[in-house]
Amino acid sequence: MTPTFSFYAAVARDGFAIISGVVEARELKGLIQNLQRSELPRSRAGIRHAMRDDTIAAVAHDRRLLQFAQQVLGEGAVPFRATLFDKSPHSNWLVVWHQDTALPLRERRDTDGWGPWSVKDGLTYAHAPARALEQVLALRLHLDDSGSDNGPLRVLSATHTLGVLSDEELHDLSTRIAPVDCLVAAGGVVAMRPLIVHASSKSQSERPRRVLHIEYAAKAHFENELQLAVA
């Protein structure tokens, strides 16, 4: 599927965009079957650091998804992290309003604006400054229909331009801006900037809501030789 100008305009203006019908039903069926056979460790919420799975890595490099990322980030765009979110009545949770600010890095290099630092599952993470996060785009491939009743992604439009926000600022925005529910049929994609303020509620449905969340960067390195780790 070839993205239209309106897609790029929406990402720039709103911080997110919804693209329908990117992946066909038969492809999704095969992907779901492969994910069910994956040997990667699962948590209650799904699979983290999923780029280690060959099937998921192949999806991240699929020409259709890569084209979306390249058109927003430039021809050098590369996938670096993937997460499978698997929300269902048996594994249900809510996520409060937040921004995605932590990036996986090959090693720690103390740099102005980066931190605090942490280690998760053997990988080094740092909360990144806005100048780095502005070079990142996430593509969320929906494996199931995401409706208003099964805990969809909710966003506060255009908040991606406000930089990294404090908890108080996040709360204030959530009281002043009407949220948008990202309702997407299976096979569709939500493109989103990591700095857009977003959340999700618990599912109220028997239907699953599985999403493959893949993150791309304009390049694999930042200042002071900070190198992204593949996760």
Percent of the chain with pLDDT over 90: 82
DSSP 221: B
Both tokens of 84, joined, read: 């499978």
Nearest Cα to Cα of residue 145 among 180, 179, 187? 187
CA distance 42 to 51: 14
CA distance 105 to 103: 6
pLDDT reading at 2 higher than 50: no
Determine the pLDDT at residue 23: 97
| pLDDT, mean of residues 161-166 | 98
Percent of the chain with pLDDT over 70: 98
Helices (H) and strands (E) in the chain, counts: 6, 13
Contact residues for 27 (Cβ-Cβ < 8 A; gap 6+): 187
| pLDDT, mean of residues 210-225 | 97
With a threshold of 0.85, does the pTM exceed it? yes
CA distance 64 to 49: 22
Determine the pLDDT at residue 7: 84
Angle at 153 between CA 31 and CA 99, to 5 degrees: 110
Q: Are residues 170 and 97 in contact, defined by beta-carbon separation less than 8 angstroms?
A: yes
Question: What residue ranges define each of the domains in the chain, with the CATH number in brackets?
Answer: 5-100+133-219 (2.60.120.620)
| Dihedral angle of Cα 148, 152, 153, 154, to the nearest 10 degrees | 30
Helix (H, G, I), strand (E, B) or coil at 137: strand
CA distance 61 to 46: 21
Both tokens of 157, joined, read: 């439009």
CA distance 63 to 188: 15
Pairing of strands 209-217, 78-87: antiparallel
